[in-house]
Amino acid sequence: MFHGSIVALVTPMNADGSLDIKSYKDLLDLHIESKSDGIVVVGTTGEAPTVDFDEHIFLIKEAVKFIRGRIPLIAGTGANSTKEAIYLTQAAKEAGADACLLVTPYYNKPTQKGLIEHYKSLARSVDIPQILYNVPSRTSVDIENNTLIELSNIKNIVGIKDATGDISRIKALKPKINKRFCFISGDDLTFADFLEEGGDAVISVTANVKPFEIHQICEFIKNKDYKSAKAMNQKLGLLHKAMFIESNPIPVKWILSYLGLIKPYIRLPMVELDKAYEQILVKSLDEANA
């Protein structure tokens, strides 16, 4: 189910802070038409920390109803409270999501034992494919290799999104983990190298802007055409970097607004892109389009 280019979708919003569902559905259509291999809704890029529970579940339900099984849908349902993560994950299952993406608990910094018990509790509580999400730059906690090996033996824990950018980890882990387990890059800057090392997919921010290109790079690597993959990815190099010139999803929402695909709004405490960076983003887009 999980392969190739999976877009970490933004959540469009109106000037009053409400959800812009029309633009949301338009983006879902865009990614289906552009051959994205999957969609993540209400993840970090989808501003999960600032939508409330009702909105969070509504966004999942609307995506499921609109997609109608045309493409795998992964719902972001992680939380720093195990109870809340179980609630959101159960709601995603009831809505019809294909899988859930579960970020490590943030701020409270659980131990490795705490991570194991957190994820075991989620797996026991909700019978849906679950993808762990390791992004220590945001959460201040890392899923260590031995912890992942233990968790990978749980039947409905089916993969990991690794946003560390450390390619050595997949080299060390892949021979020790069941072949059914999916390795998914969560770092646009290094995803091509990750896939060449045996990764299965990328959950990409850049794919919001260049969905077909990220899909095509994944296809090239799948077919061992590394030369074509490298050439296409090099054109996106500046764009990959620009996506994180300020905290995600500030830059990607600015670019999508610049392209006329969404309105420019984002929820506090995030604010719109500093004008000092606008020309850098325009340049990165021009280079990607060249």
Query: Is residue 170 a contact partner of residue 197, using CB atoms and an 8 Å limit?
Result: yes
How far, CA to CA in Å, does 103 sit from each of 134, 220, 255, 285? 6, 29, 26, 30
> Looking at 87, 93, 119, 161, which residue is catalytic?
161
Nearest to 106 by CA among 144, 143, 142, 139: 139
106 catalytic? Reply is no
Note the residue count of the chain. Answer: 290
First-residue to last-residue Cα distance in the chain: 33
Nearest to 42 by CA among 1, 102, 96: 102
Cis, peptide link before residue 12, omega less than 30° from 0: no
> Looking at 133, 224, 241, 253, which residue is catalytic?
133
133 catalytic? Reply is yes
Report the amino acid identity of residue 215: H
Residue 251 structure tokens: 């830059």
Find the DSSP H helices in 68-190: 82-95, 112-125, 136-139, 145-151, 167-173
Q: Distance (Å, rounded) from C-alpha 101 to C-alpha 76?
A: 5
Report the amino acid identity of residue 144: E
**Active-site positions?**
133, 161
